[in-house]
Amino acid sequence: MKRATRVASARDQAPTVLRRLRTALRRAADPARASAMQAYMKSAMPYHGVPAPLLRRVCKTSFERLHLASAAHWRALVLGLWRGARFREERYAALYLAGAARARAFQTPAAMRLYEELILTGAWWDYVDDIAAHRVGPILRDYPQPMRREMLAWSRSDHLWKRRTAIICQLGFKTQTDLKLLYACIEPALASKEFFLQKAIGWALRE
């Protein structure tokens, strides 16, 4: 009952957090930059026009007093921001909250349902690459056995961005790269002519 109450509370809280974040982003917005950013990303969702360094500062200020009571509370807040976003930076902010230092204890295989939704609904490289390298990768490092099975399954998925995630999730592992897993995740994509899979293979092998 207590857990359900916390989740409900987070869902109620998310719109308020999003409104506060959106107000801060509007103050920082550069409309001239916004159209160029949207065109570069080929995004249907508009931009406020806030560059990455300033966006990080806005996120830090907007979220600094936000208490993450539990993993369920954290997930509900992240999803509330993500699903309620009307501008692309608002989804970037959801990713920022997903990776907050205060959420470190929540980065377990149980978080993969959250990241799977973000990958499936984001379905573009700016979201997916960040999630793969900075969210999925660390969970794989900390929980290799269950995550290895999941990444192998993702590598054979019908969904392009899950397959890309499986290939690039070990970016930054360097000498700790599980080569057997990497090659197994690459193998189903070798015959594909899909640009984002071929780029992922090249990127992962260079790393």
Give the torsion through C-alpha atoms of 111, 114, 120, 126, to 10 deg: -80
The residues, ordered by sequence, that sit 6+ positions from 61 with a Cβ below 8 Å of its Cβ are 24
pLDDT the model gives residue 12: 73
Average pLDDT, the chain: 95
pTM of the model: 0.92
Answer whether residue 3 shows pLDDT above 60: no
* pLDDT tens per residue, range 173-205: 999 999 999 999 999 999 999 999 999 999 999
Q: How far apart are CA 21 and CA 13, in angstroms?
A: 12
Q: Where in the chain is the domain with CATH 1.25.10.90?
A: 1-104, 107-207
**Least trusted range by pLDDT, from 14-18, 75-79, 96-100:** 14-18
Domain 1-104 has CATH 1.10.3210.10: no
Domain 107-207 coded CATH 3.30.2320.50: no
